[in-house]
Amino acid sequence: MKVPTNAPWSSQELDSFFYQPADSFFRGNPGLSLTYDDVTLATLYSEILPKDANFETRLGSGLDLHLPIVSADMDTVTESRMAIALALNGGLGLIHYNMPPRQQLSEVSRVKNHIHGLIREPIKVHPEQCIGDVLGLIEEKKFSFSTFPVVDKDDTLLGLLPGHCVRPRFANRGVGEAMIKRDGVLTIRESDLGDDPIQRADRFFTEHIGIHKLLVVDADDRLKGLFTLSDIERISQERSLQTKPARDSKFRLLCGAAVSAPRKADGSIDKDQLLGHVEALVERGLDAVAVSTAHGHTLGVGEAVKAIRQALPDLTIIAGNVTSAAGVEFLAKNGANTVKVGQGPGSICTTRVVAGVGIPQLTALYVCSQAAREHGVTILADGGITKSGDVVKALTLADAVVCGSLLAGCPEAPGQILEINGKFYKQYRGMGSHAAMKAGSAARYGHAREVSQKSAAEGVEALKEVSAPADTVLAQLAGGLQSGMGYLGASSLTELRANARYTRITPAGLRESAPHDIIEVKTGG
Using a 10 angstrom Cβ sphere, with 0-12 exposed, 13-18 middle and 19 or more buried, the burial of residue 307 is buried
Kindly report the length of the chain: 525
Distance CA 406, CA 256 (A): 19
All residues at 6 or more sequence positions from 42 whose CB lies less than 8 Å from its CB, including other chains: 15, 18, 19, 501, 502, 503
Tell me the angle at which helices 388-395 and 470-487 cross, rounded to the nearest 10 degrees.
Answer: 50
DSSP E strand boundaries for 323-447: 338-341, 378-382, 400-403, 417-420, 423-429
Give 417-442 as a 3 state SS string. EEEECCEEEEEEECCCCHHHHHHHHH
In degrees, to the nearest 5, what angle opens at C-alpha 423 toward C-alphas 421 and 424? 125
Interstrand relation of 461-465 and 502-504 (parallel, antiparallel or unpaired): unpaired
Of the residues 110, 247, 284, 444, only one is catalytic, namely 444
The C-alpha R_g of the chain, in whole angstroms, comes to: 26
- 230-241 burial, b at 16+ Cβ within 10 Å, e below that, comes to ebbeebeebeee
Q: Tell me the CA end-to-end span of the chain in Å, nearest whole number.
A: 49
Instruction: Give me the amino acid identity at 125.
Output: V
Concatenating the DSSP letter of every residue in 225-271 gives: EEEEHHHHHHHHHHTTSSSPPPB-TTSPBP-EEEE---B-TTS-B-H
Encode burial over 45-57: b for 16+ CB neighbours within 10 A, e otherwise.
eeebeeeebbbeb
Q: Give the side-chain half-sphere CA count within 13 A for 444.
A: 33
Question: Which position among 165, 255, 349, 403 bears the catalytic label?
Answer: 349
Catalytic annotation present for 349: yes
Where in the sequence numbering do the catalytic residues fall?
349, 444
